[in-house]
Structure 1
């Protein structure tokens, strides 16, 4: 069993190293887009599918309550998904259609190859003129195809959902750190 535990740590570390090597620019671009949104009074909506829904709820929580600073809340809405009677979940899309405005940002996350709920939310966001930050993995086949030239994709270099989830959580914490540093540079001590 000790060898299995060491193998899991090794897989996680290797994924983190690969992520750090290829995603620095994408993380900076996403942080800048989200910071511009916050500073211009635009809202950020966050939703995820499967394991990734926990990651987007963590992002919304940190943006509302602060990660390192006691500060005013940022206008971020973590979207809940409550299935409809036919089993399909279009709640994310319905929230976006009801509340989303041009230049708002939709942050989506998915660890799986297909993400029907997130894809519907992205289509709704596109219809409203919103920008998108997508947190994905290498197995993604739905989300990446909906992104435009002004959107940002942070694609974790892994096909393993658990390794992707671990890195997405790290990315979300990094984004919140970077946003707080940009909005309140005088408050953040290095």
Structure 2
């Protein structure tokens, strides 16, 4: 049993090291897109497929309330997974179709290999000329294929849903922290 626990920690650490090397550039691009959207008064929506939805809701919460210091709330909304959509897979897409405007930003998270609710939301966002930040993983081939040249993908270097979920939480915390630092640089002093 101890060897299994050690193997889990080792896999987590190895994914962290690989992420530190691979994700700096896309993370900075995503933070820039997020900050530009906030400063231009655009709305930001986020959602996640399956267990990644909790990280999307966490992101919306810390963007509204602040992560590192007290500040005005950022206009970020987590799409609800509990609305009574006609089709379960259209639940996020219906909300984007109802509220999304050109140049608004959709942030999607996926820890698994399939993302039917998220991809439908992305299709709705694309039809409304919205921008997209996608936090994905090496097993995900659906989400990345929908991204355009102005969108950003942060692809976690793992196929293990548990490791990906851990990193999704870390990445949304990092995005919020980077946005706060760029918009309120005086708070770093």
Q: Does residue 1:129 correspond to 2:129, yes or no?
A: yes
**Alignment-derived partner of residue 140 in structure 1:** 140
Q: Please give the secondary structure, in 2, of the residue aligned with 1:135.
A: strand
Q: CA RMSD in A?
A: 1.2
Please give the residue correspondences for 1:1-190 in structure 2 after superposition, counting only pairs within 5 Å: 1-82=1-82, 84=84, 88-189=88-189
Work out whether residues 69 and 188 of structure 1, in 8 Å CA contact, stay in contact via their aligned partners in 2: no
Work out whether residues 83 and 89 of structure 1, in 8 Å CA contact, stay in contact via their aligned partners in 2: no
* Alpha-carbon displacement from aligned partner over 1:24-57 (angstroms, at most 9, x marks no partner): 0000000000001111110110000011111111
Q: Please give the secondary structure, in 2, of the residue aligned with 1:71.
A: coil
1:82 CA drift (Å): 2.4
Work out whether residues 46 and 77 of structure 2, in 8 Å CA contact, stay in contact via their aligned partners in 1: yes
Give me the whole-angstrom Cα distance separating, in 2, the residues matched to 1:34 and 1:150: 12
1:88 CA drift (Å): 2.1
Q: Please give the secondary structure, in 2, of the residue aligned with 1:89.
A: helix
1:84 CA drift (Å): 4.5
* Alpha-carbon displacement from aligned partner over 1:137-174 (angstroms, at most 9, x marks no partner): 00002101100000000000111000011111111111
TM-score, normalised via structure 1 length: 0.96
Work out whether residues 85 and 94 of structure 2, in 8 Å CA contact, stay in contact via their aligned partners in 1: no
Q: Give the stretch that moved more between structures: 100-109 or 77-86.
A: 77-86
The structure with the greater share of residues assigned to helix is 2
- What runs of 5+ residues in structure 2 fail to find an aligned partner? none
Q: Please give the secondary structure, in 2, of the residue aligned with 1:139.
A: coil
Work out whether residues 100 and 130 of structure 2, in 8 Å CA contact, stay in contact via their aligned partners in 1: yes
Work out whether residues 46 and 76 of structure 2, in 8 Å CA contact, stay in contact via their aligned partners in 1: yes
Give me the whole-angstrom Cα distance separating, in 2, the residues matched to 1:134 and 1:74: 19
